[in-house]
Amino acid sequence: MQTTPITRINVSDKKFCISYPLEDGILLASIKRIGIIQPLILLAPPPYTIVTGFKRIEAALHLGLTDIPCIMVNITEKDALLRSIHDNMGRALNIIEKANCIEKMLHMAFSTEEVYDVMTLLSLSRHEKIAGRLRDIAGSDETMKCFILKKDLSMQNIETLLRFTSEEKEHIIEILTPLHTTESTIREILQMLHLIKVRKGAIDFSTIIGADDIYGLKARLKTLTYPILSSLEKGLKDIKIKCALPPNIDIKVDPFFEKEYIDILIRAKNPDEIRVALLKLNGVFDAGYIRSIFGLAKD
């Protein structure tokens, strides 16, 4: 191991860098306290190219260090990239880092088999389509990459997101970033947005933005993508409001208004509560509300 001045390193050359993001608060604090323990691997000749240690050099630059410990190697670029990838295998790589591995291998013209072998090590399916998607992820802009990591998006959701134009992605990220989401709600929302795009050719985001929470957003999108179902749901809700049922009585309808029957539920602790509930239901029936509910899905 030796020490070299940072000025002799080409810090802007990131062709072997797979780490993302490079900023690492814990590492920074550690280096600040006890310095760089693990030497960087640098590719000769000078100005040296970093093979491993991009986060460490980032921290060193931030801390104003002038020299860093390193090991010099003189290997081919392909070997350098493989060393960089394998050096990181010991930790759990995020999807952007996995994408970087594959994109850089494809860029350096590794054979398909070599790429697939690394994909297997990264727990990715050995498939051309997956490799293509990873390449798209690696080529995404910073906003998209940050969003993918922040929301910990699945490959399926990333794939769907990638189908939108840059401008659409920007809007979607802007809408979803502040909301508390789950993987499945993001999938639902992306699917509805995609459906609007396919049907209308474009998405009018002015009709979507401004939802307070994820449920509000879903409701807005549902009205746009499933207008009939939404109107039936609204109709049912309105009738139920008119029924003014007490909490121990509920009228349940098939969620898609497919089935002909409805369920009426009464929760009672004693016969008297049932008698009161039946009286209430009798009034609801006489007012024609039950008939209106049956009529909702008829035609």
Question: In the set 256, 263, 282, 287, which binds another protein (CB under 8 A)?
Answer: 256
- What x/- string results for residues 138 through 177 when contact with another protein is judged by CB under 8 A? ----------------------x--x--------------
Each residue of 160-194: b (16+ CB within 10 Å) or e? bbeebeeebbbbbbebbeebebeeebbbbbbebbb
Confirm or reject binding of residue 257 to another protein (CB under 8 A).
yes
Question: In the set 113, 204, 272, 299, which binds another protein (CB under 8 A)?
Answer: 299
| Contact between residue 95 and residue 137 where contact means Cβ atoms under 8 Å apart | yes
Confirm or reject binding of residue 226 to another protein (CB under 8 A).
yes
> What dihedral angle (degrees, nearest 10) is formed by the CA atoms of 120, 122, 127, 128?
-130
- Cα–Cα distance for residue pair 295/257, rounded to 1 Å: 10
Confirm or reject binding of residue 222 to another protein (CB under 8 A).
no
Question: In the set 26, 37, 92, 228, which binds another protein (CB under 8 A)?
Answer: 228
Q: Which of these ranges, 89-97, 206-214, 220-228, 267-275, lies near another protein under the rule CB under 8 A?
A: 220-228
**Which of 205, 226 has the CB closer to another protein?**
226
Confirm or reject binding of residue 297 to another protein (CB under 8 A).
yes
262 three-state secondary structure? strand
Closest contact distance (angstroms) between CB of 243 and another protein is 22
Peptide bond into 21 cis (omega under 30): yes
Q: Which of these ranges, 41-49, 70-78, 116-124, 195-203, lies near another protein under the rule CB under 8 A?
A: 195-203
- Cα–Cα distance for residue pair 183/191, rounded to 1 Å: 12
Please give the distance of CA 105 from its chain centroid, rounded to a whole number: 25
**Contacts to another protein by CB under 8 A:** 160, 163, 191, 194-195, 198-199, 201, 225-229, 232, 256-258, 260, 297-299
